[in-house]
Amino acid sequence: MSETERAQVNGAIRNADVLIVGGGLSGTMLAVQLLRLPGTRRVLVIEPRAELGRGEAYSAVELGHTLNGNAARMSVDPDNADDLTQWLTAYIAAGGWPESDQQHVPVSELFVPRGMFGLYAQQRLAEAKAQSTSSVEHIRAEVIDLQVQVSSTLLTLSDGQWLRGEFAVLATGMFPAARTPQTASSGLNAAAVDPWDVSAMRQLDPQSTVLIIGSGLTMVDAVVSLDQAGHRGPIEVFSRHGLLPHVRRQPPAWVDFLAEDQSLCSPRQLLREVRRQCRCAVHQGIDWQAPLDTVRAHIGRLWSQASERHKRQFVRHVRPWWESHHHRSPPLSAELVARLHGEGRLRIQAASFQGLEPSQNGDVILRLRRRGEQHTTLVRGAALINSSGIEYDWRRVARPLPQQLLARGLVQPGPLALGIAADVSGAVVDAQGLASQRLFAMGPPLRGVWWESTAVTDVALQAKALAARLVRTT
């Protein structure tokens, strides 16, 4: 008799209808949708953090770390686009977030602090629990292994527990790129400061030079953290293309040109037409972000219909500009970055990270190759912040569960090694190309399937559809 069989005989395996692996925003939104459906079922959410609904993205406590979309764009309820606006209106009226008046805009246009958004998600979960005959329980542990059996799934947890469920859902969220870069030659690890750790930044010399790898939205948050920590020294930012996120504005509506012409499919065709539409907008005195924002609703269709060659073309040639133009910075954060850049305190340079060099005095020494140059350059600073973003390739994620799932052949890398493969319903596709009847995924793990699979509205729609699928097949 195997260890798991003995555990089952002894009653050591806990049973549930649905096991949700990950209790950040994705897992919490799925739990809410399962609670809202008729019937009675038991849902276990396995999340090592103390709270559900936050994950890394919404655990930030500083008010300066805000969402990069305004309240009207960030509802967790796919049936009510105004849900966050309504919650926020009541929250502010009750005395919460008195600093909101500093943005001088209607509630729907406020950029909410990340930690406050996590509270909003938690309250929606609590409300769904109170109104449902189903149950959701938080199991505080990490899933280190998963097996798919004929009629169930079996999870092994870091604390030695086993959980059995009719279905399991990989709602693992985003795996951050390694926060501590290293060089293979020296094996050196540099103590990188977390982009959101303001308390650690307060330990730095306020006038020291801080080095940042990556120039996206995580970098913007890191600059906000440094400012709130009282840092007043130089900030050197390095990224391969040297592109900063544009500031998010609230443009007027624009005609949905992709709905009118669905013949556009290749990256070159799409880029040409988007540029033409943006030029037309500017010529009419309208913000270029207006036509660009209409593209968002079509990304899933365009990506899923694209050939492998077109996908590679997009990732190689268009992705950096798509990221900087579409994933935009909240206004107050963008103002800070622009001010520091104008003062000469913050410099952005196009350079690729080549590794770390040993240092005798505790400084951090980066080896970089600037764009257009063949030789490498050494850059020295007092601290390093790795803001290089998200690791979507599960083969590079140094966590037990992704490694075990790949080793067992229960998952395979998604298109272009982005996330994992799945069908349109979220059923995970194994190494043999078969869609599972027991194992599903949602949110960031489906990056390769839908490209944009991390935004709140995308995940909200996936949660609703997947919940209906799981209940329908019960």
DSSP 98-113: GGGGGG-S-GGG---B
Residue 186: its pLDDT value, please?
39
pLDDT beyond 90 at 192: no
- What is the rounded CA–CA span in Å between residue 353 and residue 233? 22
- Phi then psi for residue 52, to 5 deg, are -85, 160
pLDDT beyond 80 at 309: yes
Question: What average pLDDT does range 81-101 have in this prediction?
Answer: 95
Q: Tokens 């602090």 correspond to what residue? A: 113
Is 0.85 surpassed by the pTM of this model? yes
- What is the rounded CA–CA span in Å between residue 394 and residue 441? 13
Contact (CB, 8 A) for 104 and 95: no
Indicate if the alpha-carbon torsion angle 431, 440, 463, 470 is positive or negative. Answer: positive
Residue 4: its pLDDT value, please?
55
pLDDT band at 187 (very low <50, low <70, confident <90, very high): very low
Which CATH number is 198-246+329-386's, of 3.40.50.10900, 3.40.50.11540, 2.40.50.140, 3.50.50.60? 3.50.50.60
pLDDT band at 103 (very low <50, low <70, confident <90, very high): confident
Question: What average pLDDT does range 168-192 have in this prediction?
Answer: 64
Least confident range from 192-196, 418-422, 423-427, 448-452: namely 192-196
- Collapse the DSSP code of 237 into the 3-class scheme (helix H, G, I; strand E, B; otherwise coil) and give the result: strand
pLDDT digits (tens, 9 = 90+) for 382-395: 999 988 878 899 99
Residue 153: its pLDDT value, please?
97
Q: Take residue 46 and report the two structure tokens written for it.
A: 């396995």
pLDDT greater at residue 361 or residue 474: 361
Nearest alpha-carbon partner for 71 in 116, 123, 127, 122: 116
DSSP letters, 337-384, are HHHHHHHTSEEEEEEEEEEEE--SSS-EEEEEEETT-SS-EEEEESEE
Strands 143-148 and 383-386 turn out to be unpaired
Question: What average pLDDT does range 127-148 have in this prediction?
Answer: 97
pLDDT digits (tens, 9 = 90+) for 58-71: 988 888 999 999 99
pLDDT beyond 80 at 118: yes
Residue 361: its pLDDT value, please?
79
Task: Please state, for a pLDDT cut of 90, what percent of the chain lies above it.
Answer: 75
DSSP letters, 25-93, are HHHHHHHHHHHHSSS--EEEEE-SSSSSS-TTTT----TT-B-SS-GGG--S-TT-TTHHHHHHHHHHH
pLDDT beyond 80 at 217: yes
- Tell me whether the CATH fold assigned to 3-65+113-175+392-472 matches the one assigned to 198-246+329-386: yes
List, in sequence order, every beta strand (DSSP E) within 302-358.
346-357
Q: What are 365's strand-pairing partners?
A: 357, 380
Question: What average pLDDT does range 104-128 have in this prediction?
Answer: 95
Residue 185: its pLDDT value, please?
39
Mean pLDDT of the chain: 91
Question: Would you kindly state where each structural domain of the chain is located, as residue ranges?
Answer: 3-65+113-175+392-472, 198-246+329-386, 257-326
pLDDT beyond 50 at 341: yes
pLDDT digits (tens, 9 = 90+) for 440-473: 999 999 999 999 888 899 999 999 999 999 998 6
Residue 5: its pLDDT value, please?
53
pLDDT digits (tens, 9 = 90+) for 22-48: 999 999 999 999 999 999 999 999 999
What architecture is domain 3-65+113-175+392-472?
3-Layer(bba) Sandwich (3.50)
